[in-house]
Amino acid sequence: MITFCEEKQIFKLDTKETTYMMGLVDGEFLGHIYYGKKLRNPGGFYRFRTDEYPMSPKLLPREKLGFFGGFPFEYPTGGVGDYGESCLDILNEMGQSACELHYVSHRIEQGKPSLPGLPASFGLKDEVETLFILMQDEVLKVQVELQYSVFEKEDVITRSVTIHNGSDHTYRLTKAYSACLNVEKEKTELITLHGAWARERHIDRRELFHGKMRVSSNRGETSHQEHAFLGLVTPQTTQSSGEVYGMQLVYSGNFTANAERNMYDIDRLTIGINAETFSWKLSAGESFVTPEAILTYSDQGIGQMSRNFHDFMRSHLIRSPYLHKDRPILINNWEATYFDFDTDKLLSLAREAKKQGIEMLVMDDGWFGKRNFDDNSLGDWVVNEDKIKGGLKYLVDQVNAIGLKFGIWFEPEMVSPDSDLYRAHPDWAIQVKDRSINMARCQYVLDITRKDVRDYIFDSLSAILNSANIEYVKWDMNRSVSSPGSFLLPEDQQGELFHRYTLGLYELLDRLTTAFPNLLLEHCSAGGARFDAGMLYYGPQVWTSDDTDAVERLRIQEGTALLYPLSCMGAHVSKCPNDQVGRRTTMKMRGDVALSGTFGYELDITAMPEEEKAMIPTQIENYHKYHHLIAEGDYYRLHSWDDKEPYDAWMVVSKDKSEALVTYAQVLGRPGYKRILLPLQGLDPAGDYILDGEDAVLKNGEMPEYEGDLLMGAGILIGNSGDFSSKLYHFRRK
């Protein structure tokens, strides 16, 4: 619920468990008062007062700068005396930077409008309410509308900003962030995600010191390296207790997320498009809309933040018709064959896969142009009939006749220098005049800020998708953007390239999903370099990492699940020893770990050891038994493995608490330890549960029974087992 208390000049935004408050000082300046546990009434205006200064520049005009220096602006602007990180910087027609926003008006609406050209959350009129606060800089004649949408049930508030140039001049935006949050706590710690190729989204946590700390991307994609997310906690916060603020961005390009502790120990979190690589010409009468930021708060620990984000994305962000469906269990030929395949090989994979219960064959990279290696043909989306003998339709028909669906890989945003496309249109590659383009994986990036390039991509993909019964697409992107120049953008708009690239991508994805509404779309970027909330608006799943080793996946999937529902994480059982790290793990552990994602296979099923192959039907049975729980349930992180306690554990609990699945993965054996007791979470303490999973210990044919409070208080008993062993425990209420 959103209210404005005229008398106190306070906006109060309430969700089920939280309250967010802002106040108007002098009827002009919008400041942040509070975000935290739900409060009864609007109040707390004293938050704006300091010892030195009264809370109003009207009362002490000679010290307006002092007021600006200490005021917790909701949307701080540059150049006028707030020396913290600003959210908005505008250059006027003389190239000078200053902007001071004053409140003009506000309105409250049921529901939530979409954001033009950008992915954004949505909700019905009775699910979400939106507050629009109009601010203005009278000198620039710029209007800034702050948008706050309140998702009561999920304890989420989303924000975005529209900047309108109401003057006769042309201005330049050099920064336009999406949100700012000022938090005042004695000591805080920052949680971020970092990584590299094959090591995405590992969790970092450290004290927030004075000064600025930031994570960002300037690669044209969200990146393997850093993530558009900040978690702010107190030192006492654990998985299941304590305060946590979470902030993330619905955006797939260059972002920045900044945390700053100022001289008064006030933390300012800001998030938005990365200003380092952004400059936007805002002509008279034009508007600029920022991406959306998602905020949540809980005093129930980090796990609750994750559950809020998961619920929110499942209900209000992911649009795919597959969201609440079991995904077809696929086998992907990448790690099975790499580029070395043909129709016969694919059909042999399909036949064997069908026997084991697999439901879809995905043909990965190497089916087009003359591509037998990664140094050619990107952009030439024409079937290579030397490999795909008989053509694509023949292959797909055969696969369908075997009883499998068919999926295909594309890398639409790219072009190989050795391609017909590049030879015909060298100017279509992103590049800076007179400089050679730095290659990565022997490829260039297409300038999808251009409509002609987007049309070419859309037409090429459509032609392939219309030529056969293709039900799934893996949309890949295997290099970052560099040399950010476009041959079509005018010189005073070259600084717009990165954002326009992301907008171009969204336009393409929108066209594709509109033209092929039943397509199952899996995003990918050299593994998981574009795993973000923006992409999930278009496709329900993202390939989490090129590292398919079950042990490496524990940390990668844990970090990913910090923000994203398990049903979004592309996860496959791959061969042993693993291609990326050479580790030998058990087939059981590979299956159990992949089960907590979309689930599928990525190996040569015709050449794998028989005893491993024999386990596939049970793994598939588990998927069908448990996927609804994994996809729709509440996720609890129970234990993260480390050197001293080398096991990992998590669980999912159905919303009605009638069912739970615990996954336990022992990375290394623990010599001398007889067993562990693992306390569970999220069960009904008053409920009685029966353990009936494949790893249930059955005594005299009886199903073991446990009380919910005992399972959570004392824990379940797990016998010591060897390296790379894993267990699945399924509980159902009696």
Burial track 561-570 (b if 16+ CB lie within 10 A, e otherwise): bbbbbbbbbb
**In the 3-class helix/strand/coil scheme, how is 6-30 assigned residue by residue?**
CCCCEEEEECCCEEEEEEEECCCEE
Pairing label, strands 287-289, 292-298: unpaired
The residue from 89, 476, 532, 592 that is catalytic is 476
Considering the complex, state which of residue 226 and residue 364 has its C-beta at the smaller distance from ligand GLA: 364
Considering the complex, state which of residue 122 and residue 339 has its C-beta at the smaller distance from ligand GLA: 339
Closest CA to 479 of 415, 427, 387: 415
CA pseudo-torsion sign 86, 90, 95, 100: negative
Helix, strand, or coil (residue 235): coil
Stretch that binds ligand GLA, among 90-98, 398-406, 484-492, 524-532 (CB under 6 A): 524-532
What gap in Å lies between CA 130 and CA 112, rounded to an integer? 6
* End-to-end C-alpha distance for the chain, whole angstroms: 38
Least Å from the CB of residue 407 to ligand GLA:
12
Complete edge-to-edge strand list for the sheet that includes strand 688-691: 634-639, 647-653, 659-666, 725-733, 688-691, 705-707
Helix, strand, or coil (residue 226): strand
Among 137, 152, 471, 546, binds ligand GLA (CB under 6 A): 546
Size of the site for ligand GLA (CB under 6 A): 11
What gap in Å lies between CA 198 and CA 583, rounded to an integer? 14
Considering the complex, state which of residue 334 and residue 531 has its C-beta at the smaller distance from ligand GLA: 334
Least Å from the CB of residue 117 to ligand GLA:
27
Stretch that binds ligand GLA, among 454-462, 523-531, 591-599, 714-722 (CB under 6 A): 523-531
Does residue 664 bind ligand GLA (CB under 6 A)? Answer: no
The answer to whether 433 and 474 have CB atoms below 8 angstroms apart is: no
Does residue 365 bind ligand GLA (CB under 6 A)? Answer: yes
Least Å from the CB of residue 345 to ligand GLA:
16
Among 152, 292, 413, 476, binds ligand GLA (CB under 6 A): 476
**Residue, CB closest to ligand GLA:** 365
Least Å from the CB of residue 367 to ligand GLA:
11
Nearby residues of 315 by Cβ (< 8 Å), 6 or more positions away: 123, 127, 153, 154
Considering the complex, state which of residue 507 and residue 579 has its C-beta at the smaller distance from ligand GLA: 579
What gap in Å lies between CA 571 and CA 553, rounded to an integer? 9
Nearby residues of 582 by Cβ (< 8 Å), 6 or more positions away: none
Among 217, 478, 567, 663, binds ligand GLA (CB under 6 A): 478
Does residue 524 bind ligand GLA (CB under 6 A)? Answer: yes
- Cα-Cα-Cα-Cα torsion 78, 83, 87, 89, nearest 10 degrees, comes to 20
Beta bridge partners of 207: 189
Among 364, 558, 648, 659, binds ligand GLA (CB under 6 A): 364
Least Å from the CB of residue 476 to ligand GLA:
5
Binding mask 318-357 for ligand GLA (x = CB under 6 A): ----------------x-----------------------
Q: Is 546 a catalytic residue?
A: yes
C-alpha angle 406/407/410, rounded to 5°?
Answer: 150
Residue with tokens 């992907």: 332
Single-letter amino acid code for the residue at 162:
T
Considering the complex, state which of residue 541 and residue 622 has its C-beta at the smaller distance from ligand GLA: 541
Stretch that binds ligand GLA, among 72-80, 102-110, 119-127, 519-527 (CB under 6 A): 519-527
Binding mask 381-410 for ligand GLA (x = CB under 6 A): ----------------------------x-
Least Å from the CB of residue 545 to ligand GLA:
8
Nearby residues of 474 by Cβ (< 8 Å), 6 or more positions away: 332, 362, 364, 407, 408, 409, 410, 522, 524, 543
Least Å from the CB of residue 366 to ligand GLA:
8
CB atoms inside a 10 Å sphere around CB 265: 13
Does residue 542 bind ligand GLA (CB under 6 A)? Answer: no
Does residue 376 bind ligand GLA (CB under 6 A)? Answer: no
Least Å from the CB of residue 364 to ligand GLA:
5
Near ligand GLA in 628-657, by CB under 6 A: none
Considering the complex, state which of residue 239 and residue 460 has its C-beta at the smaller distance from ligand GLA: 460
Stretch that binds ligand GLA, among 73-81, 272-280, 522-530, 681-689 (CB under 6 A): 522-530
Among 128, 526, 571, 653, binds ligand GLA (CB under 6 A): 526
Considering the complex, state which of residue 447 and residue 546 has its C-beta at the smaller distance from ligand GLA: 546
Distance (Å) of CA 332 to CA 408, 441, 571, 577, 621? 9, 21, 11, 18, 19
Does residue 527 bind ligand GLA (CB under 6 A)? Answer: yes
Closest CA to 363 of 380, 347, 352, 379: 347
The answer to whether 446 and 415 have CB atoms below 8 angstroms apart is: yes
Least Å from the CB of residue 374 to ligand GLA:
6
Considering the complex, state which of residue 75 and residue 334 has its C-beta at the smaller distance from ligand GLA: 334
Record the tokens describing residue 342, joined without a space: 């043909």
- Cα-Cα-Cα-Cα torsion 171, 177, 182, 185, nearest 10 degrees, comes to -140
What gap in Å lies between CA 155 and CA 159, rounded to an integer? 14
Eight-state DSSP code of residue 139: T
Least Å from the CB of residue 197 to ligand GLA:
8
Least Å from the CB of residue 335 to ligand GLA:
8
The residue from 364, 447, 546, 547 that is catalytic is 546
> From start to end of 487-565, where are the E strands?
520-523, 541-543
Does residue 422 bind ligand GLA (CB under 6 A)? Answer: no
Least Å from the CB of residue 474 to ligand GLA:
6
Single-letter amino acid code for the residue at 118:
L
Stretch that binds ligand GLA, among 2-10, 23-31, 413-421, 520-528 (CB under 6 A): 520-528
Residue with tokens 């171009």: 504
The answer to whether 234 and 300 have CB atoms below 8 angstroms apart is: no
Stretch that binds ligand GLA, among 15-23, 387-395, 521-529, 696-704 (CB under 6 A): 521-529
Considering the complex, state which of residue 161 and residue 524 has its C-beta at the smaller distance from ligand GLA: 524
Considering the complex, state which of residue 156 and residue 573 has its C-beta at the smaller distance from ligand GLA: 573
The total number of residues written for the chain in this structure = 734
Least Å from the CB of residue 592 to ligand GLA:
21
Beta bridge partners of 321: none
The DSSP string of 594-626 is HHTSS-EEES-TTTS-HHHHTTHHHHHHHHHHH
Does residue 543 bind ligand GLA (CB under 6 A)? Answer: yes
Does residue 368 bind ligand GLA (CB under 6 A)? Answer: no
Considering the complex, state which of residue 311 and residue 546 has its C-beta at the smaller distance from ligand GLA: 546
Closest CA to 215 of 193, 231, 197: 193
Give the interface with ligand GLA as residue ranges (CB under 6 A).
334, 364-365, 409, 476, 478, 524, 526-527, 543, 546
Where in the sequence numbering do the catalytic residues fall? 476, 546
